[in-house]
Amino acid sequence: MFIIKPILIIIVNALVFIGMAKFIPGFNLSGSYIQIAIIALVFTILNFLLKPILKLLFGPIIIFTLGLGLVAVHIAILYILDILVDTLTIQGMALIYSALIIGFVNFLIHLMFKK
C-alpha cells in the first residue's frame, strides 16, 4: 500500500492534467504522455514538500475563510509548477479553475486512502 498510493496519485494527477488541458481554456499542456507523467510527478513532489509549509504560512487565511484559503495554496503550487515545467502554461483564470479542480480531486484521493 505504501508504493501503490503515490503511484495512483501520480496517475490520477496526470489524467486530471490531461482533462484540464482539454476543457479549460488557458491551461496548455504539450508533450508526450511520458512528459505529462513527469509533470504529474513534479506536481506530486511539490504537493508533498511545499503544501505543509504553505498551509502553515496561509494558516490564518485558511482558518478565517473556513478552508477556502486552501485554494490559494493550490494556486501557489500550480504557479510554481508552471514556472518549473516548460511544457505547461497556465494563463489567467485557468489558474483558479485548475486549482479548484486539482484540489477537489486530490481531496477525493486522500479521502479514499484515509483509514
pLDDT tens digits for 17-49? 999 999 999 999 998 999 999 999 999 999 999
pTM score: 0.91
Measured between alpha carbons, how far is 51 from 29 in angstroms, rounded to an integer?
23
> In percent, how much of the chain has pLDDT > 90?
86
Residue 88's H or E segment, with its range, is strand 88-90
Instruction: Give the separation between CA 42 and CA 58, rounded to whole angstroms.
Output: 22
Residues with Cβ within 8 Å of 107's Cβ and at least 6 positions away in sequence, in order, are none
Cβ–Cβ < 8 Å for 73, 51: yes
SS3 63: helix
